[in-house]
Structure 1
Amino acid sequence: MSLAALSLSPVAQFAVPSRPVASSFAMRLVEPETWDDAIADFEGVCQEQLATFARTRWPGVALEPQLFTLAGEVVGGCLIMVQPLPLGLGSIAVAKWAPMLRRTETADANAIYARMVEALSGEYAVRRRMMLSVLPRAALSAANAEYEQLLGRGFHQGAKLLFPDRYIVNLRLSDAEQRQSFHQKWRYHLNKADKAGLSFEPAGAERRPEFDALYEQMVDRKKFPDHSAYGTVPALLAMDNPTLRPELFFVRHAGEVVAGAIIFKAGDRAVYLYGATSAAALELRAGYFLHWHIIRWLRDNTAARWYDLGGTDGFQGLHQFKKGMVGERGVITPVPPVANYAAHWWPRLVGEGAFAGREIAHALGRYVDRLRPDRAKPDQQRSAE
């Protein structure tokens, strides 16, 4: 299959009709500096696939953004991160929450996804002799069609999260339908919050220092081990593209900010990136009030159909809070395991060795966190597989 670059028109001009995937299909490498704007209107876009995020979070990797075209029109993309291995043993090509579809619900979406995987496998695993490691995003149905396609293509199961469930709220409900969807106890706490004299306010990126201070206070108070990508927040909030730039929200009580959140709003799934609360927020039930108004804001101001609350990191309290918010009309669904593919024995050997070493390091880090008296301990029971 030819991977020759096509002459592309500006992405914003493309429409994506459903058409036979046997039509001319190509993969094109683009510059990281232009990548974020090129994928801004993708329904499958996520913050992990932004060059702005990746270059801040993973400064030691090379970024290779690939756009895919079908009959001359952009239909998908994938930010590949090429990670060199120690001692010059080779490299691993990593695609996290990708490849992405520009339109996620067309009749040919699954076929386009398969062609993107085929092109990436041919370039990185076959021609350049790397291990290709792909992590699809969580599906909204019981089966993850993207992960099943990867396994059918010859990929093998790799690492999986200890607590893989994502908690996803349905955004396309009326106020009455949404409140009815919430679990009874969640709705009870929201009703209490409505009477607590709280106010909700969208805020500009210039107010990030207020959120930073609130976030630091919360981490110190709750003693959660913070291994997040919070260091990417300044770069994300400084993005020029308003579609991709996250939104900042606050809840105020008696003139004081008591809760806040940073939300990625592009694509068909908005994502709860970070939240923060003051010591007074619990009694005020400010978290319930905050998320209720974020749900309404996303519904009324974006095209997102879903609100991804993320996972729990093993904390039962987060599980109960998010499960109650997902309610009857949302979805709790797992992120699948990583899928790895190598076309040659050497990249398979060194790639599997590198991933095994990383898992040992992560397990050691979790063990150290459990030993530290100044860290909260995960208390959520793992689901039976």
Structure 2
Amino acid sequence: MDRSMSLTSSSPSMVASGHSRPKARGTTGALALRYVDAARWDRLASGFDGICQEQLHTYAARRWPGVDLEPVEFVSGGEVVGGALVMLQRLPLGLATIALVKWGPILAKETAPNAARTIDEMVAALVDEYADRRGMMVSIMPKVEKGPGNRLEALLAARGFVSGVGVQYPQRYVVDLGVDDDTRLAGFAQKWRYNLRKSMKAGLRFEHAGPEELGRFFTLYRMMSARKMFPDFSAIDTVDALMAMPDGTARPELFFVSKGDETVAGGIIFTRGRTACYLYGATADSALALRAGYFLHWHVITWLRENSTAQFYDLGGTDGFAGLHQFKSGMVGEAGHISPLPPVMNYASHWRARAAGMLAYKAREGLMRGRDRILVLRLNVMRRLRQRVGRAE
């Protein structure tokens, strides 16, 4: 690791007890790591180009209540250039601790001329603080990128990080928001274009709603969950906290589609930074025939282009469902891209952290694979039962 950088940090205990944080030191161009409190982090990171829901303290505290969270900012030349929300997972028997950064570290300005160097220096600072000084395994999950490779994954590998486990269905579907409506429409898959045009003739209405309308979304979501009878492993329990974030922060936006007086579809969209993200959706029984999902996303794309700084719209993955692949790939079209999330990348300076961390990841992977197999069996049984009921009727 490059030891020429000036790396400083205040301790987490000082922040928690209310002591002032030491100022970053070093000459212009040196990078300093500083711990910050949760409220400052969410306000600060909300203005970063690279912000995503996984890097919000508000989200992670509700989603992962069993881990400790340490937000850190990176300062260069007196300016905050990026940061990371570090999740500390202590392993059983006190064998080691994993310092996990999901979809980070994040840059304040992703298009800055020195952005690549800044990312490299932020990674070096995390390794110095968490792996070298505190004896943890550092795990970093890079965000999806367009192209044959992933720049952060390559950077981490060059710094000695080792590829670990990945998600079972890694493909992410990303819409490019930088094209005009005519180009976008021409780039959609033919079936997607056909369904969108059908929806435009169905008398639907698009609406951008405030957080006070969240109950309306949950009513729709509960109806959908009861209809589909799928086990819900999503982070839907974080929505209340996210929507309670104050104005000017990375609070998600709420959208609805209605037919007359009936709400037939809804979506919760993360809109901050350069990449917006589809978080949750819900539909009524009538939505399929009305093609309400096509109508919703067409108007969300327009809203993002006109009302946000987002240049991309991440639709998420598919969990292996062919119907979702067809819908999302058709929307991505020719301008967007379908690219895989890289696996988690791991680094440890000490053998105990390395061995315990790798064992913990392998055990978790086995548990998740077993859960997924049970889910597939359950869905197949439900599908056959529905087919029998349909034939009986």
Structure 1-normalised TM-score?
0.92
Query: Quick check: 1:311 aligned with 2:327?
Result: no
Match among 37, 46, 50 for residue 43 of structure 2: 37
CA contact (8 A) 2:28 2:77 kept: no
In 2: Cα distance, 1:290 partner to 1:340 partner: 39
Query: Quick check: 1:256 aligned with 2:256?
Result: no
Q: By how many angstroms is 1:122 displaced? A: 0.8
In 1: Cα distance, 2:325 partner to 2:334 partner: 15
1:292-307 → structure 2 map (5 Å cutoff): 292-307=298-313
In 2: Cα distance, 1:28 partner to 1:119 partner: 10
2:103: which partner in 1?
97
Q: 1:271 corresponds to which letter in structure 2?
A: C
Q: By how many angstroms is 1:225 displaced? A: 3.2
CA contact (8 A) 1:24 1:72 kept: no
2:8: which partner in 1?
4
1:1-385 → structure 2 map (5 Å cutoff): 1-5=5-9, 7=23, 23-372=29-378
CA contact (8 A) 2:43 2:249 kept: no
In 2: Cα distance, 1:333 partner to 1:89 partner: 36
In 2: Cα distance, 1:173 partner to 1:34 partner: 35
Q: 2:7 corresponds to which letter in structure 1?
A: L
1:13: which partner in 2?
none
CA contact (8 A) 2:42 2:249 kept: no
In 1: Cα distance, 2:205 partner to 2:383 partner: 30
In 2: Cα distance, 1:375 partner to 1:323 partner: 27
In 2: Cα distance, 1:335 partner to 1:221 partner: 31
Q: 2:278 corresponds to which letter in structure 1?
A: Y
Q: By how many angstroms is 1:254 displaced? A: 2.1
Q: 1:210 corresponds to which letter in structure 2?
A: R
| CA radius of gyration, larger in | 2
In 2: Cα distance, 1:44 partner to 1:338 partner: 18
Bigger CA drift: 205-214 or 215-224? 215-224
Q: State the SS of the aligned residue for 2:279.
A: strand
Distance change (3 Å), C-alpha of 1:245 and 1:354: same
Q: State the SS of the aligned residue for 1:69.
A: strand
Q: Between the two proteins, what is the percent identity of the paired residues?
A: 51
In 2: Cα distance, 1:181 partner to 1:22 partner: 46
In 1: Cα distance, 2:36 partner to 2:383 partner: 43
Q: What is the CA deviation profile of residues 135-166 of structure 1, one whole-angstrom value per residue up to 9, with x for unaligned ones?
A: 01001222211110001100001011111111
Structure 2-normalised TM-score?
0.90
Q: What is the number of residues matched between the two proteins?
A: 365
| Cα RMSD, aligned residues only | 1.6
Q: What is the CA deviation profile of residues 185-215 of structure 1, one whole-angstrom value per residue up to 9, with x for unaligned ones?
A: 1111000000000000011111111111211
CA contact (8 A) 1:264 1:270 kept: yes
Q: State the SS of the aligned residue for 2:320.
A: coil
Distance change (3 Å), C-alpha of 1:150 and 1:365: same
Q: 1:137 corresponds to which letter in structure 2?
A: K
CA contact (8 A) 2:6 2:30 kept: no
Q: By how many angstroms is 1:53 displaced? A: 0.3
Q: State the SS of the aligned residue for 2:225.
A: helix
CA contact (8 A) 1:270 1:308 kept: yes
Q: By how many angstroms is 1:223 displaced? A: 3.4
Q: State the SS of the aligned residue for 1:244.
A: coil
Please list every run of 5 or more consecutive structure 2 residues that lacks an aligned counterpart in the other structure.
Answer: 10-21, 385-393
In 2: Cα distance, 1:261 partner to 1:241 partner: 19
CA contact (8 A) 2:277 2:313 kept: yes
Q: By how many angstroms is 1:371 displaced? A: 2.6
CA contact (8 A) 2:97 2:137 kept: yes
In 1: Cα distance, 2:247 partner to 2:60 partner: 16
CA contact (8 A) 2:73 2:84 kept: yes
Please list every run of 5 or more consecutive structure 1 residues that lacks an aligned counterpart in the other structure.
Answer: 9-20, 378-385
In 1: Cα distance, 2:57 partner to 2:280 partner: 19
Q: By how many angstroms is 1:103 displaced? A: 1.0
In 2: Cα distance, 1:24 partner to 1:129 partner: 24
Q: 1:77 corresponds to which letter in structure 2?
A: G
Q: State the SS of the aligned residue for 1:372.
A: helix
Q: State the SS of the aligned residue for 2:294.
A: helix
1:15: which partner in 2?
none
In 2: Cα distance, 1:241 partner to 1:84 partner: 34
CA contact (8 A) 1:222 1:376 kept: no
Q: 1:7 corresponds to which letter in structure 2?
A: K
Distance change (3 Å), C-alpha of 1:375 and 1:28: farther
Distance change (3 Å), C-alpha of 1:346 and 1:325: same
Q: 2:131 corresponds to which letter in structure 1?
A: A
